[in-house]
Structure formats: C-alpha cells, structure tokens
Amino acid sequence: MKVILLEDVKALGKKGQVVDVSDGYAKNFILKKKLGVEANSANMNDLKLQKARDEKVAKEQLEAAKELAKVLEEKSVTVKIKAGEGGRAFGSVSSKEIAAAYKEQCGMEIDKKKIQLPESIKTFGVHEVPVKLHPQVTGKLKVKVQEA
C-alpha cells in the first residue's frame, strides 16, 4: 500500500514522502497513529499543492533574508567598553551586547544566536561580524568598538 507520510518516521522516510509499505503496517501503525494517509488521487493532489506552497514560502523567506542582509551591510553599530591599562580593552564584546546595541541604535532586533563571532571582540576599532540570516544568506554587520 502506498502511503504519504505526514511526519518523519524513523527508518521509513521524511514528512511528505510517498512510501510503499505492507497493508498491515499501514493500517495498524501509520494510519492508526496518524503518521500518514493513504496515497489516493485527492491526497496526492493535496501533497502537490502543499509542496508548491512550501516552495513559495521558502523563496519569500530567502528574498527577505537577502533584503535584510543589504540593510545590515549599510548600517553600523557602536559598542563602548572600558579601557584598562595602556589603552587596552578591559573585557570583551559578546554577541548579546551587539544584539542589544543594534536594537537600541537601529530599532530592529537581531537574534543573538544568529550573530556568529568566532571569538569575542577584545580590541578597539571596526570589526565586521557575520550574521547568519538564512541557511543560504549571511550578512556582515560593522561593529565599532570604542573606549567608554
């Protein structure tokens, strides 16, 4: 019996896949637990429409991420930290501080988890920080670190 999976099933397939399983397995497990539906013509048509809708949404999210990346590259954020002996930075700048400064100075929120610092910033000056907006889009944000 052919079944369209509504959820990921271990060792069988991913959501949206059409798989061929035995009649007993389909009736007693897949259909009973609502992990899938029978692959008749109406359900196959629904699957095609759902995939088209998902592709459209994914494309819109990609475009939105590209637009946000352009906005990020135009703006810069200033973060102030204390200076220790000899003009060296006392402490460091973390992604949480960069996200808070961006929200305060630009009025938009960036999730601190999307800011990818290889290591925290410990020097004064201008640093380019990568921000992962989408699996395919990474923007660069300029962060100016100044003495407080």
Per-residue pLDDT tens digits for 45-67 = 999 999 999 999 999 999 999 99
pLDDT digits (tens, 9 = 90+) for 131-147: 999 999 999 999 999 88
pLDDT at 85: 77
Residues sharing a CB contact under 8 Å with residue 80, sequence separation 6 or more, in sequence order = 145, 146, 147, 148
* pLDDT tens digits, 29-46: 999 999 999 999 999 999
Residue 134 near residue 128, CB atoms below 8 Å = no
